Structure 1
Amino acid sequence: MQNNPNTTLVTATAPIATATHGGRAKCLQRLARLDLPVPPTVALSFDAVQSIASGHLPDIDAILRQFPQDALLCVRPSSEDPDWGGPSAILNIGMNDSRHGVLCDTLGRDPASALFTRFVQSFAIHVDRLDPDMFDDITGEGAEALQQALAAYERETETAFPTTRAEQLASVLKSMARAWDGTSARLLRQAKGAPADAGLGLVIQQMAFGIGQGESGSGVLQLVSSKTGKPQITGRYLRQSQGRDALFGDASLYITRDDRGPSLEELVPDCFAQLVDHARLMRAKLREEMQVEFTIENGQLHILDGVRVARSSRATVRIAVQLARDDVIPRQEALMRVEPRTLNELLHRQVDRHAKRDVLGSGIAASPGAATGRLVFTAEDAQASASRGEDCILVRRETSPEDIRGMHAAKAVITERGGITSHAAVIGRGLGLPCVVGISNIRFQTRKSQLSTQDGRVLSAGDIVTVDGTNGTILLGAPAMLEPALDDAFQDLMDWADAERDIGIRANADTPADAQTARNFAAQGIGLCRTEHMFFEAGRLTVMREMIFAETSDDRRAVLERLLPMQRTDFVQLFNIMQGQPVCIRLFDPPLHEFLPVDRAGQGELAAALDLPLSDVTRRIESMMEYNPMLGLRGVRLGVTVPEIYEMQARAIFQAAVFASKGGAPVVPEIMIPLVSAKREVELVRSRVDAIAAAVTAETGVDFTYRLGVMVETPRAALRAGDIAEHASFLSFGTNDLTQMTYGLSRDDAGRFMSDYVRQEVFVEDPFHTLDIDGVGELLQLGSARGRSARPDITLSICGEHGGNPESIAFCRSAGFDYVSCSPFRVPVARLAAAQLAIADKIE
């Protein structure tokens, strides 16, 4: 038995491994090696349990010989990962009339009968799979309740309750083995990340009674807070109880001394001291914060199990960091223990997981965090609410650039349409604004300023809701929140990550506020500054519209002269904030009609501002509308056909660089041309930008350098990257539009059917959420290889939203990219993911 690989007594040298016997069995062996007071235990391997499910029992008598003849037993599941779950534990196996009689003498008739009754009910429900309702009619307590339970069992099964320990144990083992193989159980654990063929082990342990004449009970103890991860001895203890009853018992005692009531520490100080010492030893030797499951039987302490402490995201970080600080684990292992995406919960406010949730609807979790406010239905109302100091939630069918000021004013955004890379999602992540898009189970009635839920509730402007952008839900009211936790543990983790990673991390930042956030999160520069967002600020939009309506090139230049100092100020701020870090500024990208009002009232206001007839304004706007704006007159096409815009922007960039370089290190701006498809486009823009650079040098008397590159976001640009690279210092792949054009999918509309496509395995994952390695990835590889072949020193990066995705970062590292750029609030996630990839490579 001791050396049988499939049915083995748990000893220090037994052939037990997590991969063959499960985590619980391996943990119990480790506790045995530490000479902790663990009751005798037999472990069954995955193969043994699989054999039991097929109808082949192990040698039950041989198993029972490992325990005293009168010992009661319990059986617990032991899966490879505790999070995968398993069948319910069965306690007090071996209970029968004879054992009941002995316990009546030692414990008293009522407690002994209660134990027997509990076993009968547990056996019936979990082993024989009988309906729990069969015990509803039981009245009374003690021996009377026991007899009623046995009678109910006999009526239901038409057989007497099994009386021998061997018979009971065999039934329990068969039931638990078959339960693991059931369809529901398999689907449930697969949803938790378990492979389809995951195995189950079982541990058979001698019961250490938490019931007795002396001080007896059961409980759990841990050395840290599950909520914060900070040192705090916590847990629960319930007198005269078994298993994990203490977690659910209203009469549980405190663990440490507490003014509110009696505690384990006061009741049995020696056992308490031993328990704390055992927990500290487990932490040091098992290299993890463990929750200790224990029993006290007549003043004697027994350790039944040790499980990894359940923890929040902030506790996950602090526990890993503190273990490394204490030299329990190396820093590299601490980094590997934190899932990058869990950092999202530290960077933003979150709904407390224990708070009551009244869910109104759900959609795509587009930008993490949570916020509460009153519903508003226009950007103007959002700005008005902000001016009054009222928190608001902006509701739109879908957002457009015209809504950006409202988004800045709101605390969160929800939209009826859109996907993970829609306008609202991208801007929301950039601002750190909670955002849920593609909400299909709420009816948006924006003209009425109302939302209608599927259960018939109607919400109007001014009603208070909470947006949970982490989980993609809309909640009624204001549930309790948890504040961000960027503490010393987080900072240490980020510093360690930076020491390990081997790929640069920049941020997409459009405003000085975005840039400051990126700087605070230690981004290594700005990888994408979308300049068009600057034109929607108050005082600029009207000037921009005046430029659009200008009839001649000279008229456009005259209007743009008024925008020049505004742009220059923006760029000076960006350069100063980034303090010498690179700043990559994308030239104007969207079609001009996006800056024009679409409603009659807005067009009337514009006509009055420009002193033009309303009919002229309406006609001009209609003439600029495009059937497919995404593929129309935008990006470099505007730079070629309306060159005055790019000329003004280049002048503003160079003047800002000269100004920001005074008294410090020279600023080397990076200028990026969007939506390129042909080499000639780059040549034309470059010649004009070079001319502006020469003019600014002549005007200021200051020599400066700059880098000009291309945003590769069309398939043709990726395929012709070799030609384009001859005129570019860098290639930055805009994976949002590149994915859109490669698939022929609108990123704003794909959310309507994408879940169906993923569910039916048309796509493995939403390609706007996770980079499509096979399709879009091949274009990236072709483009980078051809670009490097033509120009070996060219800088390669991605600046689409995929840049913050750990799987996409892995691809970019393997493809030899120099850096990735992502939303400011995703920078810490990217830093940690990049570090883990570098560490994993070293381990392999």
Structure 2
Amino acid sequence: MATKYVYYFGDGKSDGSAKQRELLGGKGANLAEMSNIGLPVPAGFTITTEVCTYYYANNRQYPPELAAQVDEAMAKVEKTMGKKFGDSSDPLLVSCRSGARDSMPGMMDTVLNIGLNDTTVEALAKSSGNERFAWDSYRRFVQMYGDVVLGMKPEKKTDADPFEELLEKKKHAAGVEFDSDLSVSQLKELVAEFKAAIKSRTGSDFPSDPKQQVWGAVGAVFGSWMNDRAMVYRRTYGIPHEWGTAVNVQAMVFGNLGDDCATGVALTRDGALGVPGYCGDYLINAQGEDVVAGIRTPKRIEETLAKEMPKAYEELDSIGKILENHYKDVQDIEFTVQKGKVWMLQTRNAKRTGFAAVRIAVDLVDEGKITEIEALSPKRIPADDLNQLLQPVFDLAGKQAAVKNDQLLTKGINAGPGAAYGQICFHADDAEKKFLANPAVELILVRRETTPEDLRGMKAAKGILTAFGGASSHAALVSRQMGKVCVVGASELNIDYEAATLKVGSKLLKEGDYISLDGFTGEVFAGKVQTKPSEVIQVLIHKTMKPEESPVYQRFAKLMAWADKHRTLGVRTNADEPKQAKEAVSFGAEGIGLCRTEHMFFDHVDEFREMILADDLPTRERALVKLLPFQRGDFAGLFRAMEGRPVTIRLLDPPLHEFLPHDHASQSLLAEKIGIPVEAITRRVSELHESNPMLGHRGCRLGIVMPEITAMQARAIFEAACEVKKEGIDVKPEVMIPLVGYVTEFKNQEKVVREQAEKVFAETGVKVDYLVGTMIEVPRACAVADQIAGSAEFFSFGTNDLTQTTLGMSRDDYGGFINYYKENDIVPNDPFQAIDQSGVGTLMRMGVEKGRSQRSKLKIGICGEHGGEPSSVVFCHEIGLDYVSCSPFRVPIARLAAAQAAVAAQKK
């Protein structure tokens, strides 16, 4: 039996359903589902993702059975819609749209009004009774087909779109502002001019055969799966290239037939802040691309549609409720109103900001529509999106000062919440280049309107500002998903790309000038505006707000309570000082997974340098005696802050040369401070030089050669622990020996630590429970983890170094090639940001299995930077770690990711 490649939908029935996303793509599956539940959907058919896979595997050829299946499906569409494709009296027109499994808004291509030519346009004019509509549709089709299928794009970023340039000239000559004001004769002239431009640029005539047109569009949509912006989007959101896209061919319905017609994009709840209520953008007498492209600033559904089209609004509102109840999530809906009748063109789970994601999830639970476990889904709230709730917002006093100083430029539509300021950048590729040269650069991408080609620059910018478009425009949609601050539809902006200037009235800003965006209010300011901490930070850290004063915090706290209820993975923090520790505890940290003792030395660096520069053991020990009280005080502060929670302290790890000055001026200053000849310092720096310090004399190797360093640190830990325990505070120190590869290395250092513990306990008359474990960060440690676990009481994976030593890739030096690797799919992501699960992860799995084969209750965690990255947290859950440890501000993210991992495991 031949493989089924084409699935029909329409007239209240469909060959498919919402359960077939992998085969039909998200759009096709949802069109099928809407048909099945009786919603008004124009008939059409979906060409499956399997065809896309075949297309790329077979030199852009189609399966032999496809053409016949398309013809059969087209006949069903004709029967349902009562029109014939290519008919010379009452023609059926169709659209051709992409549809990946996961929504990729604007990243692939669309063609509308397929089937028009010089004959069918006259037939459409006659059958519709609207000649202007017919020729406007023809003009749009030639323009879109020329762009998408025939590649008629601007050759340089400063060039105008060839079609838009002709259109603007025509409007200027006619003395009109909008396309809809052009006359029939002017539209006919435009069609001829567009065709001439195509012939001039491509050497070929515009195709007049409707069947050729539809196959050209299908090929263009499949071809767009591998375009640059789609590939960048998939890399950003972890969508596999091999999934492919489906193609949806659907009967056209028209929002540009007159003033009783409209097109729009609606959300069942606000996608920026999550506020309940039907909302979105629409345009009277327009087609769908007018709204999404942002060329015209649309009207707001919630403000005026009920007045202008009461019946349509009532029907749309009803459909929105049906869909939200059916999918149990906020829906993003595309619709057309043709002669007063509502048609559904798409529904999908809406993209949303972190602010909106938390509110919507909590509200849906409170409304009884979903369970708290469903609210924790990473599809509803990607764990990383919680970061948005912790970012600064504009301070009211700062904004008032900016207004007083005449910095307020204009106000647009708030499309992506938060506060952002940065240097104006007018072109996406310029923004990307500046970001790659300096990732700390602060940029605001300022455009008349964004297009999918701007994706790279949007990723690089802190915020996006557009002169045109509404809350459903491309800029707004993509910004919401990225969590970028975004203001759209700021129509007072006069942007001159050639001059690289932005003008509002008499105020002129140039590229590189600072500008500030308030994504909550839509206000745009010249210069920088003062910020303040987010409401969550104000409640948890600064205590300047009470919990009951902040609905944002209340929903955040409720979500975190659900996460803690369902997660099994512990969450600790990486902290070196009491302030960090207290912040982390406020965020929900259950202990310290990594205290880097070398960071403590930076406050007493001269004393530490004195120890490094010692020529003999007695001199070094005298220097260590000076350091002991500093270390003891630091550890005591951590123990007090953690109030009985476990504290894992890593003994000195980096090579000693890192602490010494390397230029002559600094060496001379140090010599004067500590009273030794500068030549001695210069000599010692030379002695400590290493060709590859990452693999050199560091970690446990330092303590083995200089056991007095380990002894001092161990004494400081236990003296601090005994001191704090005397104060009535429980302490749980865990001493971690770094860079162990041989069990003999661990035993050597363990002996020093335990000797010091017994001495301190005897001296103080106080005893504390403690553990001695190791950091697993070289491949050999994973391979012999069973041997090491015979002595070590806990493991903690140091994935920063384990990644370096496994890949032979220095995180200090990989910047020169890692972006190229990602761009060319050599690696799926940055291995220092997300665990390389098939390589480094295999070693980690081995370490866990071997370690617990020797010590079944072995406590194992992770303390590398990966400990707060969601996919890495999920992996740590899967391989059976006890906890992850991350920086304080990543703790909420790790808590949510851990809950998501546990829920996913339960479902499996």
TM-score range, shorter chain: 0.7 to 0.9
Q: Is contact 1:530–1:585 with CA below 8 Å preserved after alignment? A: yes
Distance 1:120 1:812 in 2: 53
Q: Percent identity?
A: 34
| Residue in structure 1 matched with residue 400 of structure 2 by the alignment | none
Would the alpha carbon gap of residues 250 and 760 (structure 1) be closer, same or farther in structure 2, given more than 3 Å must change?
closer
Residue identity in the other structure for 2:889: F
Name the amino acid aligned to 1:16. G
Q: 1:27 to 1:577 in 2, by over 3 A?
A: same
Confirm or deny that 1:23 pairs with 2:26: yes
Task: Tell me how far 1:757 sits from its aligned partner.
Answer: 5.4
Distance 1:798 1:256, change over 3 A: closer
Question: Residue 587 of structure 2: which of 485, 510, 521 is its match?
Answer: 521
2:104 counterpart residue number: 83
Q: Which residue of 2 aligns with 1:361?
A: 434
CA contact (8 A) 1:12 1:30 kept: no
Matched AA of 1:493: L
Aligned partners of 2:278 and 2:320 also within 8 Å = no
Rounded Cα–Cα distance in structure 2 between residues aligned with 1:271 and 1:243: 16
Matched, 1:334 2:375: yes
1:492 aligned partner, one-letter code? K
- Cross-structure match for 2:880: 816
Deviations 1:427-465 (A, max 9, x none): xxxxxxxxxxxxxxxxxxxxxxxxxxxx9xxxxxxx999
Aligned position for 2:643: 579
Residues 39-54 of structure 1 aligned to structure 2 (within 5 Å): 39-46=41-48
Aligned residues of 2:434 and 2:441 also touching (Cα < 8 A):
no
Equivalent residues in 2 for 1:273-284, closer than 5 Å:
273-284=314-325
The letter of the residue matching 1:333 is E
Number of matched residues? Answer: 728
Task: Establish whether residue 592 from structure 1 lines up as the match of residue 614 from structure 2.
Answer: no
- The corresponding residue for 1:645 is 709
Comparing 26-35 with 286-295, greater Cα deviation is found at 26-35
For residue 568 of structure 2, the aligned residue among 502, 506, 510 is 502
Aligned-partner Cα distance in 2 for 1:680–1:97:
89
Deviates more, 1:571-580 or 1:493-502: 493-502
Match of 1:67 in 2: 81
CA deviation string 1:157-190 (max 9, x = no partner) = 7999999xxx63x344212222133377466545
Structure-2 change in CA distance of 1:465 and 1:631 (3 Å): farther
Change (3 A) 1:638 1:267: same
Secondary structure of the residue aligned to 1:238 is: strand
Q: Displacement, 1:202?
A: 1.8
Q: Which residue of 2 aligns with 1:224?
A: 269
Q: CA separation in 1, counterparts of 2:122 and 2:853?
A: 84
With 598-607 and 128-137 compared, the bigger mean Cα shift is at 128-137
* Residue 905 of structure 2: aligned partner: 841
- In structure 2, distance between residues paired with 1:302 and 1:774: 47
- Taking a change above 3 Å as real, the CA distance of residues 677 and 511 of structure 1, as seen in their structure-2 partners, is same
Deviation of 1:826 after TM superposition, in Å, equals 3.1
* 2:130 paired with 1:100: no
Partner of 2:287: 242
- Residue deviations 1:758-801, cap 9 Å, x none? 66776665543443445544443444334333333322223222
Instruction: Note the C-alpha offset of 1:113.
Output: 4.6
Match of 2:8 in 1: 8
Q: Letter of the 1:83 partner, please give it.
A: M
Change (3 A) 1:93 1:331: farther
Residue aligned with 1:227, SS: coil
Distance 1:206 1:588, change over 3 A: closer
Instruction: Work out whether 1:289 is the aligned partner of 2:309.
Output: no
Deviations 1:225-256 (A, max 9, x none): 33222335432232222334345364633333
**Cα deviations by residue, 1:183-222 (Å, 9 ceiling, x for unpaired):** 7746654542354362423242352445336x44332332
Structure 2 CA distance, aligned partners of 1:481 and 1:51? 58
Pair 19,704 (structure 1): closer, same or farther in 2 beyond 3 Å = closer
Conserved? CA contact 1:53–1:177, under 8 Å: no
Q: 1:482 to 1:224 in 2, by over 3 A?
A: farther
Which of 667, 673, 676 is residue 612 of structure 1 equivalent to?
676
What one-letter code is carried by the residue in structure 2 that aligns with 1:220? Answer: V
Q: For the aligned residues, what is the CA RMSD?
A: 4.1
Quote the offset at 1:301 in angstroms.
Answer: 4.2
Q: How does 1:152-163 map to 2 (within 5 A)?
A: 152=193
SS at match of 2:881: coil
Contact 2:94 2:250 in 1 (8 A): yes
Q: Which runs of 5+ in 1 are unaligned?
A: 258-262, 374-411, 413-454, 456-462, 468-475
**Structure 2: which 5+ residue stretches go unaligned?**
53-61, 84-89, 154-160, 175-181, 393-417, 445-461, 463-499, 501-511, 517-525, 537-551
Go from structure 1 to structure 2 and tell me whether the alpha carbon gap of 1:113 and 1:187 turns closer, same or farther (over 3 Å shift): closer
Trace 1:438-837 onto structure 2 (pairs within 5 A).
Answer: 486=536, 487-488=552-553, 489-537=555-603, 540-662=604-726, 664=728, 666-756=730-820, 766-837=830-901
Mark the CA change 1:283 to 1:353 in structure 2 (over 3 Å): closer, same or farther.
farther
CA contact (8 A) 1:754 1:766 kept: yes
The AA in structure 2 aligned to 1:42 is G
**Alignment partner of 1:254 is 2:300:** yes
Amino acid at match of 1:41: A
Contact between 1:77 and 1:88, CA under 8 Å: does it hold in 2?
A: yes
For residues 634 and 764 of structure 1, do their structure 2 counterparts lie closer, same or farther at Cα, with a shift above 3 Å needed?
Answer: same
8 Å CA contact 1:355–1:479 kept in 2: the answer is: no
* CA distance in 2 between partners of 1:507 and 1:553 (Å): 36
Q: Note the alpha carbon deviations across 1:496-534, whole angstroms, 9 max, x for none.
A: 233222222222222223322322321221111111110
The alpha-carbon distance between structure 1 residues 632 and 68, as it changes in their structure 2 partners (threshold 3 A), is: closer
Q: How far has the Cα of 1:61 moved from its partner?
A: 4.4
Maintained 8 Å contact 1:153/1:161: no
- The answer for the alignment partner of 1:305 in structure 2 is 346
Change (3 A) 1:209 1:746: closer
d(CA) in 2 for partners of 1:316, 1:741: 39
How far is the alpha carbon of 1:67 from its aligned partner?
A: 1.5
Tell me how far 1:574 sits from its aligned partner.
1.3
Give the Cα–Cα distance (whole angstroms) in 2 for the partners of residues 8 and 632 of structure 1.
Answer: 65
TM-score, with length taken from structure 2 = 0.71
- Secondary structure, aligned partner of 1:507: strand
Q: Is residue 2:357 matched to residue 1:316?
A: yes
Alpha-carbon contact 1:809-1:833 (below 8 Å) kept: yes
User: Distance in 2 between the 1:542 and 1:612 partners?
Assistant: 12
Residue-by-residue CA offset, 1:665-714 (whole Å, 9 max, x unaligned): 53121111122343344334333333322232233222222111122333
**Partner deviation per Cα, 1:276-318 (whole Å, 9 max, x = no partner):** 3332332122222123333444555444433443323433343
Q: Which residue identity does 2:26 align to in structure 1?
A: G
Is the deviation greater in 309-318 or in 581-590?
309-318
User: How many Å apart are 1:536 and its aligned residue?
Assistant: 0.6
Contact kept, 8 Å, 2:207 with 2:213, in 1: the verdict is no
For 1:435, the equivalent position in structure 2 comes to none
> In structure 2, the residue corresponding to 1:797 is in which secondary structure?
strand
The question of whether the paired residues in 1 share the 8 Å contact of 2:718 and 2:760 is answered with: yes
Q: State the distance in 2 between where 1:757 and 1:639 align.
A: 38
Say if 1:792 and 1:143 are closer, same or farther in 2 by CA, change over 3 A: closer
Deviation, 1:83, is: 1.0
Note the C-alpha offset of 1:482. Answer: 11
Distance in 2, Cα, partners of 1:783 & 1:42? 54
